Structure 1
Amino acid sequence: MEYNFGEIEKRWQIYWKEHNIFHTKENKKRKYYILNMFPYPSGTGLHVGHCLGYIASDIYARYKRGEGYNVLNPIGFDSFGLPAEQYAVQTGKHPYDTTHENSCRYKKQMNQIGLSFDWNRKLYTSHPSYYRWTQWMFIQIFNSWYDKNSEKAKPINLLIEEFNKNGNKFINASSTSNYKFNSKTWKKLNSYEKESVLLDYRLAFLCNNTVNWCPSLGTVLANDEIKNGKSERGGFPVYKKKMLQWHIRISAYAERLIKGLNVIDCSQSLKNLQCNWIGKLIGTSILLKIVHLINDDTPNINKNEIELFTSHPEMIFGITFIILSTDHPIVNKISISSIHHKNVLAYLAQEFCINENTENISGVFTGNYVFHPFIKNEKIPIYISNFFNVNNQTKSIIGIPGHDEKSKKFAKKFGIKIKTVLDVNETCINSDFLNGLNRKQAQEKIIEILIKNKIGEIKSIYKIRDAIFSRQRYWGEPIPIYFKNKIPKTIPVEKLPIILPEIDNFHPEDGKSPLVRAKNWAWDEKNMKIVPNTLIDYKYIYPIETSTMPSWAGSSWYFLRYMDVHNDKFFLDKEKENYWKNVDLYIGGSEHSTGHLIYARFWHKFLLDRGWITTEEPFKKILNQGMILSYSAIILKVIGENIFVSYGLMNKKHAYSSFQEIYVDLFLIKENNELDIKRLKKYKPEFYSSIFILERGTFFCKRKLEKMSKSKYNVINPDDFCKKHGIDIFRIHEMFLGPINQSKCWDEEKVNGIKNFMNKFWYLFHKNNTFQVSEENPTFLEFKILHCTIKKIQNKMQSFSWNTSISLLMVLTNQLTTLKCNKRKILEPLVQLIAPFAPHVAEELWYKLGKKKSIIFYNIPVFDPKYIVKKEITYPIMFNGKLKFLEKFDSRISTEEIKKKILSHPKIKFILKEKILQKLILIPRKIINILFK
């Protein structure tokens, strides 16, 4: 009798919901906080690739509950963001409506696969009760600066106090400028000038910067939102463009972000990704004065200095030019003669496609130089260019064309000389006092001279860029800032949240946020409320910031809010934070290994600095799940024609030579990779008039194994699978595909093995279509195989090896089936072992075993060492009184079992091959003597 999975699964899901089984409260138990990376509720719902991490975390959450932990396993939705806004533009629906519809679908699917989420803690980043605190946190970041002496963020008021009372003391802060002023200077500054100074220290600040601009999406993109030079969303071209944007000074935390990795339990590859993203470099900083020529021979020493950084100071004699980024702060300060001024302005006004061919290097000469620090009267020209990955902190690079290919191409284009300073043996050449030195010797000598001459120092710098925090789009958290005489002011925290206003048109225009069209988006400073824009008078009523926050704002602290989701007094109660502390296990895809994790870790450290939480790192352990791969279907289209060619004809002789690959839905593919052309034309009207060139009367497509993705039409819907095979079988099938951290191919054919296993498991409890469990005491062997399995599964679960745990349950089921064991003392622990993997079947059998409460309230069985730890006795084996060899036996087995093992022993069989056994004498724990003739 196969079990009726549909009936069983429906019954227990209703029971879980009605009895609020998975609701978690703080108590005296040991806590365990397990978390999935925040899902975005897209319109297409979950596919089986998404389910992998959710099922894995659910199995572990159920197992930890069985170990006696108070498990927090919450869920919510990262519901702000670009996809919802784009969908609104396309459909005319409001993002709020589509987000709500999609999240309801996600919740239904998640419940359908038996996930034990505590839905009482559900949250949405787009809900005002949540983003009220995101706005509050932004205000705190804005009103903070980073003190490098104490290595922590502090209130900006403390910095202002320092400026007011400490005359010539330089504040060692996170400032990107070199402000050094005394108290008199500070007091003489007007409000706008003071704010300009403070913006160089604030952790949230406004500045003109070169950003990744996507015209098609109408918004700025972060680096992690770009793949291969195009927007990850939609694959649109992305350009470099200068814009006034809000930034978060994450670079101030670079060293702490690196050090914090030492206390996180995660893969080395993840740590490497984070370290590479942060990009710590130890090298030499060189400070040189800028000069420009009044005429051909007369240099004019500029008051400005430029900081250059090199990790290879031994190459200093090879420097022949300097590159500044277009957003280098000194670009607007240096003197540019009229002959170059027009060209520089024209270059700065350009937008550069970031995917542009690197062979097409461009730049502009500024007319400025620095003198070489070691070669008298040698001028090094300064250029501006957007085609070099300049250092984030110095926003400049040095050009060494004799030893760098890209620099060489730039030098050739602009007629700059090329110097070689190292020979093939990496020995210094072409310099008076480095000739003959190796690289290390030359490096030490150059550093010594630079430090002695007070123009250089050893320094650590970081590649990580301050995060752009503005997005020119509608569907995001409003930034709680208004502008009073061009000075940014924060909305009073007691007036938060500022609610996202209703507008009709969500699409950005000309780089401006849709919020510029909001009719009521001005701040009445006197009455402290939002009023119509028509009332703006710049005396009491001022414009509110129209950009919104990026989607990572809300996802950088959501794990804290889960601890205290209903608190309307503060974002997190101290007692609850002290109980849950941080996330014990964080599961998600490796695509979030850089951007999201760095943003979240920075945000957490800031909240620690200001005293609102108590932990340095938000996550104790991070586990990256692998991808589910699926075979996509691809057909060939003739470029520029509405003609499709069967894949086998691709390299054959015919009239067509250039093709593009088009993905089609899997349901359109027959056996043997044949495209169902009639069905294609029926469901896809755009193909109705297409011409299909067949191959042997058939049209074949190409099958390609790749990541399951909606854009490749190769996703598998879990709803269909569960309806056909059952939820528990789906859960076990997903986990049995392979190790959680590795990519694996989706293969539905292998589900038959899982179904056979589950039926065998069911039959252990049923005979002749009735539930039958024996109260007889198990044998030693039955106890032994059970407790060995318990111990092995415990070890496998600790190493997050779900697939091998399932293998152990399969082996145990087979062994018990062979032994025809249906004894309660064996089967009850077995049900508990399978419960995390197949919770519906487990609940059903647990109920049939006479239990009154859900199996989730019972502790997982632990192994008994007496059935596992072997105590062996060594027996001398004698033949007619003569010692032949020694043999070990388990001390727990009977003398009769030892005799059976002796008579079947290969060595004894060989000796007795042609002899007659007379007697076997066994003296317990002493000897075994075999008599024969």
Structure 2
Amino acid sequence: MPYSPDIDRKWQKKWEETKLYKFNPENVDKKLYVLEMFSYPSGAKLHVGHWYNYGPSDSWARMKKMQGYEVFQPMGFDAFGLPAENYAIKTGIHPQDSTMKNIETMERQLREMGAMFDWDYEVITCLPEYYKWTQWVFLQLYKAGLAYRKEAPVNWCPSCNTVLANEQVQDGRCERCGTEVTKKNLTQWFLKITDYAEELLNNIDELDWPEKTKKIQTNWIGRSEGAEIEFKVYGKDLSFRVFTTRADTLYGVTYVVLAPENELVDKITTDGQRKYVEEYKEFAKKQSEIERLSTTKEKTGVFTGAYAVHPLTGERLPIWIADYVLATYGTGCVMAVPAHDERDYEFASKFNLPIKRVVKSSNGEDDVLPYTEYGVLVDSAEFTGMKSEDARIKIVERLKEEGKAEIKVNYRLRDWLVSRQRYWGAPIPVIHCEKCGIVPVPEEDLPVRLPYNVEFAPDGESPLKKSEEFMHTTCPNCGGPALRDPDTLDTFVCSSWYYLRYPDNKNSEKPFDTEWINKMLPVDKYIGGAEHAAMHLLYARFITKALRDLGYLKFDEPFKSLIHQGTILGPDGNKMSKSKGNVVSPDDYISVYGSDVFRLYLMFGFAYTEGGPWNDDGIKAVSRFLSRIERLIERISEIRTSQGKDEIDRDEKELNFTRHYTIKSVTEDAEKFQFNTSISRLMELVNALYKYDNDVKVKNIKFMEDVVADMLRLMAPFAPHFTEEMWEKMGYEYSIFNQSWPKWDESALVKDVVEIGVQINGKLRGRVEVPSNAEDKEIERITLEDEKIKEYVEGKEIKKIIVIRGRLVNIVVK
């Protein structure tokens, strides 16, 4: 029967019954761990984005299986998080109920996709048997001093009366009610990712990752080598330090700037300026960090009334506060050198502050300010005339002698804030005792279960605080009354280690067996969105390194090789969303064409790492392509008993060339996830088979069948159900995925005869066939003897013949 969704169901049933894709742990020496970033079950159905992530990457895994690898390809769900909680607040359906229902639907759809996922290894992060071990990971970090608690600013919506995660803030406003978001200090839990900043940077070049992603992480970590320089506050027994990489510009400092949140501000602000400072601090609270760091935002600030003392000249420098300085970056204090820094220049120009040039270009040609390059120092006392590179070292050395500076390496990266004041997440496994302080929950008492009956409508406090049953407990140390931590963990903590749980997902004694996990990890090929570059991918690297240092792992990186899929946009070119009405459902196409046509179209119609706007104009053509292959299979059945030939003649050699060229091209392109070109090559091979069948009267039927069989093997990863059906029709043994991937023969790619173009005075006039190893004189002779070429040169003087072997002959005539 023609390919249809019925064929999908037939083979999915057979694959399940025969356990075709079950991972065999005994073949761990041949393992290939292929992992797609697991999805969040926020919607009831898979959309095109899921298909685009999982379908083509499954095709890559299928090819590797046929190449002899023992493919481990699990699937699960990143099931905690804000969307389910927001949905529950809106509809009254409990997050656990909606999440598990969505998972059930998505599991069915993923099975219907026909991917090789081994569901025996599934993980679901919202189930206690998983988050027990998320809590365990947290406790190991706490015991190692890598988890700590401190007060920190968070996003606060005064209307909803609740803390908002960064993803809940849109353009500085609450996504729920549109109210302007402010900042509020709360006591939060952090993980010390900064302890690994240097290693996270040092190892990144060794990874087989997209260069853009590695650059994003490098910039996010933001390593700077410089010095911390001390400035005293004039007239007070107070001082502060600034971090700078350009100590050579120190003589150009004309004012200093503190972050509005800096605790020093209240201590130094004069009575006359206090009203203005307080107003500005409230203004700065309403700005997001991204807004505050924007280079295009107009600079704002307020003078505190206080002055700092220049550490070298003793000059008095006005102390301002401005929102372009962050308390959480560096020291929260900046020495302003407006002649040599763009932000400082804009600020000084707006507020009429002095601009003093202390660096000029070495050739003296660039007089435009701000001048931000290295050069030669001017107006810098005894350092005048010195090169910037030398002066930045010498100035710091002098300040060090006077106890006013120290060499410092600074990072843009900040510790990972993991506390969340919301319900749908893993409870933080910590107990607060009045007598003993912070007490970690004993490991034997894990998991700290998330209670079901909790009122989670936002009212400004963590929802778990309202659960008397949850909050009240006894202290493991003293046995006295104590309270549990009311916060839950950031869902990124759940996904920061899930790849370690998959291979040992049923282990009830520990998160994973160290010996086994060291055989299975790291992940060989990781596939997912580029938007995770500076969050999930960075967090996973940190957790891996921390668990390694704690003795649980023997590898340094979680993901050897990484590839990002592009994004399929709506037909209007915008990101798909229900509100825009541009969401494309795969189901509509699959019910008509079958999943293989849809999968093939996604791979053929888009470059995998780029994506693009949805357009279904070509899907019918893909369906016709499969029909052409089906007719080829029927043709083989027709001619199998016919009288053919045994010889390999010119026509067979031509088809054999295309066959091996296709094997080589598909193998190399698919390896690089270039599926669109792989499928193009397969289409060319099918065309060549049709040409052979139509043009050659006496065929080598065995040879033709072998080529068709190779074509089906090459096609199998891209259209798994369809090729299983065609393989069966050919009468071959089940399954095509137990077959070896075809290998190309280099000798078959050397043609006995090649066709080259012939130009007369630069214009193409014909083509001739010549032996591939022919010398220039032989090529000239064959060309001039060609009947069509004779017509163009007859009676004319041939001035020159230019031969470019394998490509063309150009005849110059007079």
Question: Shared fold by TM > 0.5?
Answer: yes
1:794 deviates by 1.3
1:801 corresponds, among 653, 671, 674, to 674
How far apart, CA to CA, are the structure 2 residues paired with 1:558 and 1:218?
A: 33
1:120 deviates by 1.2
Q: Which residue of 2 aligns with 1:584?
A: 524
How far apart, CA to CA, are the structure 2 residues paired with 1:903 and 1:428?
A: 74
TM-score by length of 2: 0.83
- 1:376-434 Cα offsets, whole Å, 9 max, x none, are 2x233445544434562423222234444544565578775554445653554444334
Matched, 1:361 2:234: no
1:38 deviates by 2.1
1:341 deviates by 7.5
Q: Which residue of 2 aligns with 1:712?
A: 580
- 1:346-365 Cα offsets, whole Å, 9 max, x none, are 77677423258944724572
Matched, 1:301 2:257: no
Q: Which residue of 2 aligns with 1:513?
A: 462
Q: Which residue of 2 aligns with 1:102?
A: 102
How far apart, CA to CA, are the structure 2 residues paired with 1:218 and 1:38?
A: 32
Q: Which residue of 2 aligns with 1:889?
A: 771
How far apart, CA to CA, are the structure 2 residues paired with 1:233 and 1:764?
A: 58
Q: Which residue of 2 aligns with 1:762?
A: 630
How far apart, CA to CA, are the structure 2 residues paired with 1:586 and 1:232?
A: 32
State the secondary structure of the residue aligned to 2:506: coil
1:774 deviates by 6.1
Asked if the contact 2:713–2:736 (Cα under 8 Å) also holds between the matched residues in 1, the reply is yes
1:911 deviates by 8.7
1:827 corresponds, among 699, 703, 708, to 708
How far apart, CA to CA, are the structure 2 residues paired with 1:235 and 1:826?
A: 63
State the secondary structure of the residue aligned to 2:25: coil
How far apart, CA to CA, are the structure 2 residues paired with 1:540 and 1:773?
A: 86
How far apart, CA to CA, are the structure 1 residues paired with 2:177 and 2:587?
A: 27
Q: Which residue of 2 aligns with 1:61?
A: 61
1:614 deviates by 1.2
Q: Which residue of 1 aligns with 2:810?
A: none
Higher mean alpha-carbon deviation, 62-71 vs 340-349, is at 340-349
- 1:374–1:867: structure 2 CA closer, same or farther, 3 Å change rule? same
Asked if the contact 1:26–1:576 (Cα under 8 Å) also holds between the matched residues in 2, the reply is no
Q: Which residue of 1 aligns with 2:549?
A: 609
Give the gaps of 5 or more residues in structure 2.
361-365, 694-698, 755-767, 795-814
1:394 corresponds, among 304, 320, 331, to 331
Q: Which residue of 2 aligns with 1:51?
A: 51
- 1:724-747 Cα offsets, whole Å, 9 max, x none, are 222111001000123211132221
1:14 deviates by 1.9
- 1:849–1:908: structure 2 CA closer, same or farther, 3 Å change rule? closer
State the secondary structure of the residue aligned to 1:850: coil
State the secondary structure of the residue aligned to 2:522: coil
- 1:230–1:828: structure 2 CA closer, same or farther, 3 Å change rule? farther
Matched, 1:321 2:194: no
How far apart, CA to CA, are the structure 1 residues paired with 2:56 and 2:494?
A: 25
Written as runs of structure 1 = structure 2, the 5 A alignment for 1:414-425 is 417-422=354-359, 424-425=366-367
- 1:628–1:15: structure 2 CA closer, same or farther, 3 Å change rule? same
1:781 deviates by 3.8
How far apart, CA to CA, are the structure 2 residues paired with 1:21 and 1:310?
A: 61
- 1:235–1:792: structure 2 CA closer, same or farther, 3 Å change rule? farther
Residue identity matched to 2:50 = H
State the secondary structure of the residue aligned to 1:33: strand
State the secondary structure of the residue aligned to 1:142: helix
Q: Which residue of 2 aligns with 1:209?
A: 152
Q: RMSD in angstroms over aligned alpha carbons?
A: 3.4
State the secondary structure of the residue aligned to 2:16: helix
- 1:709–1:216: structure 2 CA closer, same or farther, 3 Å change rule? farther
Give the paired residue count.
743
How far apart, CA to CA, are the structure 1 residues paired with 2:87 and 2:189?
A: 26
1:45 deviates by 2.3
Asked if the contact 1:588–1:623 (Cα under 8 Å) also holds between the matched residues in 2, the reply is yes
- 1:509–1:555: structure 2 CA closer, same or farther, 3 Å change rule? same
Asked if the contact 2:135–2:429 (Cα under 8 Å) also holds between the matched residues in 1, the reply is yes
State the secondary structure of the residue aligned to 2:203: helix
Written as runs of structure 1 = structure 2, the 5 A alignment for 1:607-756 is 607-632=547-572, 705-756=573-624
State the secondary structure of the residue aligned to 1:71: strand
1:284 deviates by 2.3
How far apart, CA to CA, are the structure 2 residues paired with 1:330 and 1:907?
A: 94
How far apart, CA to CA, are the structure 2 residues paired with 1:911 and 1:46?
A: 61
1:912 deviates by 7.1
Q: Which residue of 1 aligns with 2:804?
A: none
Matched, 1:278 2:237: no
How far apart, CA to CA, are the structure 1 residues paired with 2:191 and 2:204?
A: 21
TM-score by length of 1: 0.73
How far apart, CA to CA, are the structure 2 residues paired with 1:809 and 1:275?
A: 40
Residue identity matched to 2:707 = I
State the secondary structure of the residue aligned to 1:825: helix
- 1:566–1:745: structure 2 CA closer, same or farther, 3 Å change rule? same
Written as runs of structure 1 = structure 2, the 5 A alignment for 1:101-140 is 101-140=101-140
Residue identity matched to 2:286 = F
How far apart, CA to CA, are the structure 2 residues paired with 1:890 and 1:217?
A: 78
Q: Which residue of 1 aligns with 2:443?
A: 493
Q: Which residue of 1 aligns with 2:6?
A: 7
1:843 corresponds, among 713, 718, 724, to 724
1:861 corresponds, among 738, 742, 748, to 742
- 1:452-508 Cα offsets, whole Å, 9 max, x none, are 434223332110111111111000110001112282210101100000012342122
- 1:7-65 Cα offsets, whole Å, 9 max, x none, are 21121122223333322131235111111112111224222133112112100110000
Seq. identity, %: 35
1:569 deviates by 0.9
- 1:683-718 Cα offsets, whole Å, 9 max, x none, are xxxxxxxxxxxxxxxxxxxxxx22333343211100
Higher mean alpha-carbon deviation, 266-275 vs 92-101, is at 266-275
1:139 deviates by 0.8
- 1:874-925 Cα offsets, whole Å, 9 max, x none, are xxxxxxxxxxxx997358x9xxxxxx9999755554797799xxxxxxxxxx
How far apart, CA to CA, are the structure 2 residues paired with 1:544 and 1:63?
A: 50
Residue identity matched to 1:844 = E
Q: Which residue of 1 aligns with 2:417?
A: 468
2:427 corresponds, among 478, 482, 485, to 478
Residue identity matched to 1:856 = F
State the secondary structure of the residue aligned to 2:570: strand
Q: Which residue of 1 aligns with 2:690?
A: 817
Matched, 1:312 2:246: yes
Asked if the contact 2:545–2:557 (Cα under 8 Å) also holds between the matched residues in 1, the reply is yes
Q: Which residue of 2 aligns with 1:680?
A: none
